[in-house]
Amino acid sequence: MALSIAARSAVAGQMRASEAASPPLVTPEACARCEAREVSVCSVLSGDDLARLSHISVVSTVGEGETFITEGDPADHFFNITAGTAKLYKLLPDGRCQVTGFARTGDFLGLAAGAVYVFSAEALEPVRFCRFARSKLRGFLRDCPEMERRLLDLARNELVLAQEQMLLLGRKRARERLASFLLSWQQRAAPGPGNRLMLPMTRTDIADYLGLTIETISRTLSAFKKTRLIAQTALSELIILNGTELAAIAAGDR
């Protein structure tokens, strides 16, 4: 990631030197170097198509806490996360929040949108992404069925996850929800040294993702620690000691 951020900075630097008003367009070379490519939609693209795509994409970064997609705004862009973690969420008028997912490197955002975005996205740590204008992407897709197929696969996979989450929110108990979350996050997040699990989100984010409160998250984590299912190495860093048992809890088997 350090390498990649350096590469990105170089691109932004180029841009700034040549034309400060226009956004930092991506060069095919930058795409070829991008270490997020193999986990992104772009992985299916041949050199030729990749070059075309790079010309309609714009790289940017946002800092921690910044909102880069706002529910209700015209859904003019798609986003491909190339570094960092973001939370995706929906709000009720009175402020109640449901986090619908966490987006990481390689995730493609904007599929779940009609004319306007139906969710907001906020960076949990510095996030870098490629942005595509919806109108331009449409033209690209016309000539590139592989990409369209890939997007369909992504959307289908997201649907599978969404339904799994409905089961969790509708029918699982608090401890089952948290166990499910820890295991699924372990799947998706690169494990740190010593099998450490990094959680870039706050307890509030986890609570809003699992349909619980921060107090319940805290209490349940403490219970998991007491029964030696997990160990906490830092506030946002823990180790899963007994994944088998956690999986049994997640499935509702005890």
Residues in the site for DNA, rule: CB under 7 A?
A: 173-175, 202-204, 211-219, 221-222, 232, 234-236
Helix (H) or strand (E) holding 205: helix 203-210
Q: What amino acid is encoded at 180 in this protein?
A: S
Give yes or no for residue 146 binding a second copy (CB under 8 A). Answer: no
Say if strands 86-91 and 77-83 run parallel, antiparallel, or are unpaired.
Answer: unpaired
CA 99 to chain centre: 11
- Interacting residue with a second copy among 40, 54, 80, 165 (CB under 8 A): 165
Nearer to DNA, 25 or 248 (CB): 248
Binding-site partner at residue 217 among DNA, a second copy, none, CB < 5 to 8 Å by type: DNA
Which of 1, 10, 32, 167 binds a second copy (CB under 8 A)? It is 167
**Applying CB under 8 A, does 247 fall inside the site for a second copy?**
no
Is 158 near a second copy (CB under 8 A)? Answer: yes
**Segment near a second copy (CB under 8 A), from 17-25, 38-46, 163-171, 231-239?**
163-171
Dist. CA 136–CA 129, nearest whole Å: 17
- The residue range among 15-23, 37-45, 154-162, 187-195 that interacts with a second copy, by the rule CB under 8 A, is 154-162
- The whole-angstrom separation of Cα 222 and Cα 175 is 11
Q: Is 40 in the site for a second copy (CB under 8 A)?
A: no
In angstroms, the CA 130 to CA 84 distance is: 12
**76 phi, psi to nearest 5 deg:** -85, -15
Q: Which entry of a second copy, DNA, none binds 208, CB below 5 to 8 A by partner kind?
A: a second copy
Report how far residue 119's alpha carbon sits from residue 87's, in angstroms, rounded to the nearest whole number: 10
Residue 114 interacts with a second copy (CB under 8 A): yes or no: yes
Provide, rounded to whole angstroms, the least separation between the CB of residue 218 and DNA: 3
d(CA 97, CA 136): 32
Distance in Å, CB of 212 to a second copy, minimum:
9
**Is-contact 200 236, C-beta < 8 A?**
yes
- Residue partners of 212: CB distance under 8 A and separation at least 6: 174, 177, 178
DSSP-derived letter for residue 85 is -
Q: Is 105 in the site for a second copy (CB under 8 A)?
A: no
Nearer to a second copy, 68 or 78 (CB): 78
Stretch that binds a second copy, among 24-32, 124-132, 227-235, 246-254 (CB under 8 A): 246-254
Nearest CA among 174, 183, 197, 187 for reference residue 243: 183
Size of the site for a second copy (CB under 8 A): 44
Q: In three state form, how does the secondary structure of 181-213 look?
A: HHHHHHHHCCCCHHHEEECCCCHHHHHHHHCCC
User: What does the binding site for a second copy look like in residue numbers (CB under 8 A)?
Assistant: 90, 92-94, 96-98, 100, 111-114, 118-119, 141-142, 145, 148-149, 151-152, 155-160, 162-167, 169-172, 208-211, 251-253
